[in-house]
Chains A and B, each alone.
Chain A
Amino acid sequence: MVKEYKTIKTQVALPYEIAYGATWTRFFEGFKERKIYGTKCPQCARILVPARAFCPRCFVDTEDWVEVSQEGSLVSWNYVNYRYFGMPTEPPYVGGLIRLDGTDVGFLHLIGGFGLSDLEEVKKNVKSGMKVRAVWSDERQGNIMDIRYFEPIK
């Protein structure tokens, strides 16, 4: 939109180099091997995924690493049809909040493996509560997009 008054257009680009820390490092190393790891809280016994160093509720170390299921059920989802800074892929795409089997928290990722161009068609394939399974990239870098998406289990 053209503004009717004098403006200056300016951008800020700030490069950062940020430590993964031990827990994210180990979690993403698992991705290279097609494994999803969580950590278990010794106090509340919840299995947290992604893995983390401590339980946010109990404030105690989570020392037990467990490989969690690559299947789960869809808690909630969206159909994203706009472009925005930081979008994980070209729209339209489906995002999903997934409860991986045996874990106690939600895991965010994409839902795919079917046509995405039409919302009404997507609604036939995507329902809250449905079972989904991780689909991995052939070449994995050790980051969250090593999982391409979660596909519905027919």
Chain B
Amino acid sequence: MAGRVAIVEVAQISGGDSKDNYYDQAYLVTKEVLAKAGVTKDEVGAVVSSASDIFHGGISCASAYYNEAVVAFLKNSSRQDGESLFALVYGVMRILSGHYDTVLVAGLCKGSENPPNDTCTGMFGDPFYLRPIGMNETVAASYQMRLYMERYGITEEQCAKVAVKNLHNALRNPYAHRKGRYTVDDILNSGRIIDPLTTLQIAPKSEGFVAMLLASEEKAAKLTGKPVWFKGYGSSLDTFHFGDRDLLQGQLKNAAAKAYRMAGLTDPRREIDLAEISEPYAFQELMWYEDLGFCGEGEGGNLIDSGVTRTDGELPVNPSGGVLANNPYVSRGLQRAVEAFLQIRGEAGERQVAKKVKTALVHGTHGFAGQCHAVAILGSQE
């Protein structure tokens, strides 16, 4: 990369629901991140936000509603609709342009207010075929899950273990929406609303207002003694027609390869200390392990069985509880970056992992059965 970009500070407001409205929450999270960084609104160079019209019935329309709440008034600002990790990389690019030394990146989602996520994701389909046949993200995931289990002999119990782990991790996360001590049987008996999926293997809809302040290397040195560096990024989007796609050989491998190359990682399983990934459906965490190179093809079930991805394991995955614990659909990728930042800085409170985190992977996904993936690598070392 031409220069280095650091994340200086983060803030988040999340959980099940809040009596505050969207506009005020956007303001509060922005105010918090600027206060932590010791930066005034006038010192913010540019703003990139992530929000979605479908999820908020138009109130966030092209950022018109919340523009000033994220200090974008009179500034160069733009809004990303779709995977929120894209907003992070657009913010990084603003700084790499050399024209700005700070950029505010915000992801805004108030899941407590939107219709069921399935209603919103159903709109991703075309009106001729996918919508009339009843497609949505949960329906898509159910096809993918059965294929995955049958192709590799992954068991329902192994899939359920992801929910057991993540909802348990979430007990230590004050920002999580859904949490608890569940057994594999609890997960499998939580309501078989769309076999092979059960209710607790499907992420809830949650709130997630997240903000981060990015800075150039020079500016970061003035703002913090503990910068977290943006090290690499990759994204990939599969083709539209659901039946055309290989649901077991998706785009995450491609997105990860790009991010690893940019970050100079050659052995991700050993070089990555912690991962915060987006698993809106429990089994997907197992699939994503494979695509990220944490284990071989078809070995995601063995990896969860081994305990390696537990909070006290060699490679903790989703110590926050992940998306199963808190699912602001629009900002869930960016929330993973906030969690990774806190772990790298050793500021994750009760959910801080025991091992030292120097390099972390964050992942966001959007669309049917992981149509879109984005991966970012963050780290404490230059």
- A residues contacting B by CB (< 8 A) are 3-6, 10, 12, 16, 18, 20, 24, 28, 48-50, 52, 56-57, 75-82, 84-89, 95, 97, 105-110, 119, 128, 143-145
**Interchain CA distance A109-B247 in the complex, whole Å:** 17
Pull 11 A–B residue pairs with CB atoms less than 8 Å apart, ordered by A. Answer: A6-B19, A56-B240, A75-B147, A78-B195, A78-B197, A79-B192, A108-B130, A108-B242, A108-B243, A110-B133, A144-B132
Residue of B nearest to A80 (CB): B194
How far in angstroms is the closest Cβ of chain B from A85?
Answer: 4
Query: What bracket does the count of chain B residues touching chain A fall in?
Result: 35 or more
Near A by CB (< 8 A), chain B positions 55-95 give 57-58
A50–B129 touching, CB < 8 Å: yes
A108–B115 touching, CB < 8 Å: no
How far in angstroms is the closest Cβ of chain B from A75?
Answer: 7
Given A56-B244, A88-B133: A81 and B128 interface contact (C-beta under 8 Å): no
Near A by CB (< 8 A), chain B positions 94-150 give 115-116, 118-119, 122, 127-136, 138-139, 142-144, 146-147, 150
How far in angstroms is the closest Cβ of chain A from B178?
Answer: 14
- B residues contacting A by CB (< 8 A) are 17, 19, 57-58, 115-116, 118-119, 122, 127-136, 138-139, 142-144, 146-147, 150, 192-197, 239-244, 247
Given A76-B143, A95-B134: A128 and B241 interface contact (C-beta under 8 Å): no
> Which of chain B's residues have a CB closer than 8 A to the CB of A86?
118-119, 122, 131, 134-136
**Interchain CA distance A11-B34 in the complex, whole Å:** 35
Given A50-B129, A108-B135, A119-B195: A85 and B119 interface contact (C-beta under 8 Å): yes
- Please classify the interface of chain B as helix (H, G, I), strand (E, B), loop, or mixed, using the class held by over half of its residues: loop
> Which of chain B's residues have a CB closer than 8 A to the CB of A128?
146-147, 150
B132–A77 touching, CB < 8 Å: no
> Which of chain B's residues have a CB closer than 8 A to the CB of A4?
19
B241–A52 touching, CB < 8 Å: yes
Q: Which of A6, A56, A109 has a CB less than 8 Å from the CB of B241?
A: A56
A144–B129 touching, CB < 8 Å: yes
